[in-house]
A and B are shown apart, each in its own frame.
Chain A
Amino acid sequence: DGGITQSPKYLFRKEGQNVTLSCEQNLNHDAMYWYRQDPGQGLRLIYYSQIVNDFQKGDIAEGYSVSREKKESFPLTVTSAQKNPTAFYLCASSMQGPANQPQHFGDGTRLSIL
């Protein structure tokens, strides 16, 4: 089945630790995105990528980093510089980016601080 796979489903971070969230898609989509959702809030864009080896900052990129070495994969690293990382992280993809095509979401990763 085609889709977007995020892992892990739950993640706990210790103070000063970097953690990496995985996102893989087999939809052959060119564009991929990372969003953050806080309780009762809409989604806020962290980073997006329209092609391999290229990505752009979204509205809240500080404290996060990404890479896009393969079309299928777009991992997100939450660095120790992100002081309030507790949130629901959502990865999405679309045929083309960044805003005219429907975006489809993975199941998300819930990150908490230990």
Chain B
Amino acid sequence: QKEVEQNSGPLSVPEGAIASLNCTYSDRGSQSFFWYRQYSGKSPELIMFIYSNGDKEDGRFTAQLNKASQYVSLLIRDSQPSDSATYLCAVNLLSGSARQLTFGSGTQLTVLP
């Protein structure tokens, strides 16, 4: 079982729709959760981070965290073609005796004009 799991996609949504990206993780003690956007050939760019259960909104982006179910999701409202990218979920997992940020393999999102 992967420690941080995302659907690889590709996920396609029409322009203006809501895109929903999901991420599950294996460590019940994880406390920090991050979403990054990565355009093809570029480095990851931080979109949002969330530490507490519930929703956190920033513009068109909403992060949702449910620690009991061990999943975190990212909603993108009013999707635009410029949102087409790979979205990486990152979670602070216990590795040996220390926590480190562990990345999922990403979900590729395509927003169709």
The chain A residues found within 8 Å of chain B, CB to CB, are 33, 35, 40-45, 48, 56, 58-59, 90, 98-108
Contacts and interface: CB of A to CB of B under 8 A. Distances in A.
A103 to B, nearest CB: 6
A56 B43 CA distance: 23
A88 to B, nearest CB: 8
Interface string B70-97: 0000000000000000001010110100
B95 A59 contact: yes
Given A56-B98, A99-B99, A103-B34, 17 more contacts: A33-B101, A35-B103, A40-B8, A41-B105, A42-B4, A43-B88, A43-B103, A45-B102, A90-B43, A98-B100, A98-B101, A99-B93, A99-B100, A102-B49, A105-B43, A105-B44, A105-B45
Interface string B25-59: 00000011010000000111110010000000000
Interface residues of B, number: 25
Nearest to A57: B96
B95 to A, nearest CB: 7
B3 to A, nearest CB: 10
Contact of A100 (B31, B44, B102, B106): B31
A48 B100 contact: yes
